[in-house]
Amino acid sequence: MRLLQHPHFRPRHYLGGSAVIFFIVLLYGFSISAVFSVGSDYALSDFLKDDYLHQVIAFSVGQAFLSGLLSIVIGTLFARAFFYLDFKGKSLILRIFSLTFVLPALLAIFGLIGIYGTAGWLTQLLQTLGVSWKPSIYGLSGILIAHLFFNIPLAARMSLQALQSVPTEQHQLAAQLNIKGFTFFRLIEWPYLKSQIVSAFVLIFMLCFTSFTIVLALGGGPQNSTLEVAIYQAIFFEFDLPKAALFALVQFAFCFALFSLSQYWAKAPETHISQRYRWVLPSSSAVKFGHVFVLFSVCLFILSPLFNIVFQGLSATQLFGYWQNPQLWKALAYSLTMAPIAGVLSVLFAFLLLLLSRQLQWLYHPKLAHLILTGGMMILAIPTIVLAVGLFLWLQDIDFSAGHLFVVVSVCNALAALPFVIKILNTPMNQSMQYYEKLCLSLNITGWQRFRLIEYPLLQAPLKYALALATTLSLGDFTAIALFGSPDFTSLPHLLYQQIGQYRSQEAAVTALILLGLCLGLFMFIEGQKEQHD
Which band of pLDDT confidence, cut at 50, 70 and 90, is reported for residue 264? low
| Dist CA 215 CA 198 (whole Å) | 24
Could you give the CA distance from residue 166 to residue 361 in angstroms, rounded to a whole number? 32
Residues 91-118: b if buried by 16+ CB within 10 A, e if exposed:
eebbebbbbbbbbbbbbbbbbbbbbbbe
pLDDT at 496 over 80: yes
pLDDT over threshold 80, residue 407? yes
Cβ count near 439 (within 10 Å): 10
pLDDT in tens, 242-253: 787 788 788 878
Count of H-run helices and E-run strands, the chain:
23, 0
Ranked by mean pLDDT, the top range of 284-288, 401-405, 516-520 is: 516-520
The answer to which of 192-196, 338-342, 387-391, 530-534 has the lowest mean pLDDT is: 530-534
Q: Considering Cα of 208, then 473, then 334, then 142, what sign does the dihedral take?
A: negative
Candidate ranges 110-119, 445-454, 524-533; pick with highest mean pLDDT: 110-119
Ordered alpha helix ranges (H), 363-504: 366-377, 384-394, 402-443, 447-450, 456-475, 479-484, 492-501
- Confirm if 346 and 224 have CB atoms less than 8 A apart: no
Average pLDDT over residues 441-448: 68
pLDDT in tens, 4-43: 444 444 555 567 778 888 888 888 888 878 777 776 556 6
For 39-78, the pLDDT digits (tens) are 655 666 777 777 888 898 999 999 999 999 999 999 999 9
Cβ neighbours of residue 466 under 8 Å, at least 6 residues apart?
A: 346, 347, 350, 420, 421, 424, 425
Q: Which residues contact 40 (CB under 8 A, 6 or more apart)?
A: 242
**Can you tell me the distance from the alpha carbon of 364 to that of 358, in angstroms, rounded to the nearest whole number?**
10
Express each pLDDT in 121-165 by its tens digit.
888 888 888 777 777 788 888 999 999 999 999 899 888 888 877
What's the whole-number average pLDDT of the chain?
80
Asked if residue 339 has pLDDT above 70, the reply is yes
Say how far apart CA 443 and CA 76 lie, in whole Å: 51
pLDDT of 455 > 50? The answer is yes
pLDDT band, very low/low/confident/very high, at 274 (cuts 50, 70, 90): very low
